[in-house]
């Protein structure tokens, strides 16, 4: 009994640490990116917000990012250790951490859309076991959010790649695929990111290999010389693309690349890429198999960058505009791409389920949305001692998922601004121009920074969709974002995608 209690406590501590405190090697990579960025730029301001958020998450012991992903465990056990007990202990720890708002409830029935509320469901959490000859248990955990998960990509060689041409079944073809994978992510995966790459296998084992690379240390060196050179090359060349932090343009697009290789079928040649956001949340512990207690934490080598007492970036030449909803069309049309807005007052969350619901024929919104701001966000919520809802984490989600709906919904309900991350496409851009609207890009992953701007939760509608998908009524103060799509047909995202494609194409010639 003591063993199981200790094991559950150890696992709970692993989940909490992974969700709230970035490892030392990731912090050093972010510090290097910040030092490489040009002062006063949108990218520099974004990195400033990111490092502030890292400090707040550690101090608050709250999620760095509101999207805590599908908890994925890799467990190594000595022969004879009861793996069934470990799986049950993992589920108990996950449910407890979810109840304590260390994780967002992310387990959704794929057929009914019902959220279990506990992160326990069919196939979840993901737990993979492997036996070994060591006399201790190692448990690794990665929390990889949906925004970066959606930017994973798999290539089947030979293939034709935009900007790079033919990629064949050789090391140079692999090089082209990896470069393309970084470019196609743009800012939608919360750049600057990290990638794990799997060469070979079949479609499923290739992705498994790619994700396994994300457990490597950022500053390790691949033991295969050709892959070590390729990893270094990919990071160096990706940072010439100009995608930058959040896709705003800038010097830091990729912070790490780790590549693994396995044998393949003669007929198949897959290159699988797992893209991870800047909020690179993975941790591992060693456990005594007799007591269930933690005997070692991984990723403890080297200096820990605290990001405390750093100078704050100013807005530079960007105009700062105060906004309070309801917003008039005249106010909206005065905004231009690059303007920084600070929002005070009311805004409403709305993401996938809300948009699917509101587009229905004859469906009315639960509140008057005319002149309002919709925030693409699935927050982490908790009840206080008075049974009132409080926001524990509230960064933006990736907006491109709402592209089929957004323009029509803005026109239907009179919405003037939508806010998220990563930008939207041509259909939404056209609607912004016709209707008089703007897209505001908040800083992806900055869940504590934005939670601090939310002063009260004044109501909630459509809770039947689950906490992440409900419409939360939020009262905010000084909530900062950047205009990246305006009502005059301008899109920073389209501009960066085009310019970065030109830079990608400069690497079409054979290198390896």
Mean pLDDT to the nearest integer, 65-94: 97
Domain-located, residue 60? yes
Kindly report the average pLDDT of the chain as a whole number.
96
pLDDT (0 to 100) of residue 312: 75
Domain-located, residue 396? yes
User: What percent of the chain lies above the pLDDT cut of 70?
Assistant: 99
Mean pLDDT to the nearest integer, 238-263: 97
pLDDT (0 to 100) of residue 71: 97
Domain-located, residue 507? no
Domain CATH number, residue 444: 3.20.130.10
Domains held by the chain: number: 3
pLDDT (0 to 100) of residue 315: 58
Same domain, 41 and 92: yes
Same domain, 32 and 106: yes
User: Is residue 187 within 8 Å of residue 493, measured between CB atoms?
Assistant: yes
Domain-located, residue 218? yes
**Range of lowest pLDDT (179-188, 313-322, 323-332, 474-483):** 313-322
Same domain, 116 and 159: no
What pLDDT digit, counting tens, does each position of 374-433 carry? Answer: 999 999 999 999 999 999 999 999 999 999 999 999 999 999 999 999 999 999 999 999
What pLDDT digit, counting tens, does each position of 413-425 carry? Answer: 999 999 999 999 9
Comparing 407 with 311, which gets the higher pLDDT? 407
Helix, strand, coil percent values for the chain (each to nearest 5): 35, 25, 40
**Which residue is listed with tokens 């609207």?**
437
Same domain, 97 and 163: no
Same domain, 375 and 481: yes
Report CA dihedral (382, 386, 387, 393) to the nearest 10 degrees: -20
User: Is residue 413 within 8 Å of residue 358, measured between CB atoms?
Assistant: yes
Give the range of the structural domain holding residue 36, as residue numbers without chain letter: 1-145+284-308
Same domain, 3 and 133: yes
Does residue 314 have a pLDDT over 90?
A: no
Does residue 240 have a pLDDT over 70?
A: yes
Same domain, 270 and 303: no
pLDDT (0 to 100) of residue 317: 67
Domain-located, residue 509? no
Mean pLDDT to the nearest integer, 484-497: 98
Same domain, 340 and 463: yes
Mean pLDDT to the nearest integer, 329-347: 97
Same domain, 80 and 213: no
135-145 burial, b if ≥16 CB within 10 A, otherwise e?
A: ebbbbbbbbbb
Mean pLDDT to the nearest integer, 63-86: 97
Same domain, 304 and 269: no
294-329 burial, b if ≥16 CB within 10 A, otherwise e?
A: beeebbeeeeebebeeeeebeeeebeeeebebebee
pLDDT (0 to 100) of residue 1: 74
SS3 164: coil
Same domain, 104 and 197: no
Annotate 389-401 with DSSP letters as a single string.
Answer: EEEEE-PPPBGGG
Domain-located, residue 511? no
pLDDT (0 to 100) of residue 316: 61
Does residue 164 have a pLDDT over 90?
A: yes
Q: How far apart are CA 333 and CA 224, in angstroms?
A: 55
Same domain, 33 and 151: no
pTM value? 0.96
Mean pLDDT to the nearest integer, 337-348: 97
Domain-located, residue 512? no
Domain-located, residue 88? yes
């Amino acid at each position: 009994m003591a063993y199981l209690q200790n094991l559950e406590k150890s696992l709970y501590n692993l989940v909490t640490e992974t969700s709230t405190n970035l490892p030392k090697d990731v912090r050093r990579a972010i510090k290097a990116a910040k030092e490489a960025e040009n002062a006063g730029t949108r990218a520099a301001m974004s990195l400033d917000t990111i490092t502030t958020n890292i400090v707040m998450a550690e101090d608050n012991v709250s999620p760095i990012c509101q999207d805590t992903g599908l908890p994925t465990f890799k467990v190594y056990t000595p022969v004879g250790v009861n793996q069934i007990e470990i799986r049950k202990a993992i589920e108990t720890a996950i449910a407890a951490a979810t109840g304590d708002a260390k994780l967002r409830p992310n387990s959704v029935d794929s057929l009914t859309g019902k959220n279990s509320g506990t992160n326990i469901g069919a196939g979840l959490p993901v737990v993979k076991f492997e036996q070994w000859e060591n006399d201790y248990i190692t448990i690794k955990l990665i929390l990889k959010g949906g925004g970066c998960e959606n930017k994973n990509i798999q290539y089947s060689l030979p293939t034709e790649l935009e900007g790079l041409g033919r990629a064949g079944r050789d090391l140079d073809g692999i090089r082209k695929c990896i470069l393309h994978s970084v470019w196609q992510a743009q800012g939608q995966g919360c750049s600057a990111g990290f990638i794990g790459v799997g060469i070979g296998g079949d479609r499923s084992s290739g992705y498994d290999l790619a994700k396994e690379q994300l457990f490597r240390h950022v500053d390790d060196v691949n033991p295969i010389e050709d892959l070590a050179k390729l990893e270094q090359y990919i990071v160096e060349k990706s940072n010439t693309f100009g995608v930058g932090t959040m896709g705003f343009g800038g010097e830091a697009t990729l912070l790490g690349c780790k590549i693994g290789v396995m044998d393949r079928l003669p007929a198949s040649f897959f290159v699988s890429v797992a893209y991870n956001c800047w909020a690179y949340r993975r941790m591992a512990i060693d456990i005594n198999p007799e007591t269930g207690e933690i005997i070692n934490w991984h990723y403890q080598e080297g200096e820990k960058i605290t990001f405390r007492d750093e100078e704050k970036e100013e807005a530079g030449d960007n105009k700062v505009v105060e906004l309070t909803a309801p917003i008039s069309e005249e106010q909206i049309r005065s905004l231009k791409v690059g303007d920084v807005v600070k929002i005070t007052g009311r805004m409403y969350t709305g993401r996938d389920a809300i948009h699917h619901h509101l587009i229905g024929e004859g469906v009315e919104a639960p509140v008057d949305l005319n002149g309002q701001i919709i925030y693409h966000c699935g927050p982490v919520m908790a009840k206080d001692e008075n049974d009132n809802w409080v926001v524990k984490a509230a960064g933006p989600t990736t907006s491109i998922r709402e592209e089929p709906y957004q323009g029509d919904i803005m026109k239907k309900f009179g919405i003037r601004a939508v806010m998220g991350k990563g930008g939207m496409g041509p259909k939404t851009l056209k609607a912004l121009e016709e209707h008089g609207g703007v897209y505001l890009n908040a800083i992806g992953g900055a869940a504590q920074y934005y939670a601090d701007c939310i002063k009260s939760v004044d109501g909630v509608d459509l809770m039947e969709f689950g906490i992440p998908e409900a419409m939360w009524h939020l009262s905010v103060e000084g909530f900062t974002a950047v205009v990246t799509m305006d009502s005059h047909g301008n899109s920073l995202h389209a501009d960066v995608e085009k310019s970065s494609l030109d830079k990608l194409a400069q690497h079409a010639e054979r290198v390896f």
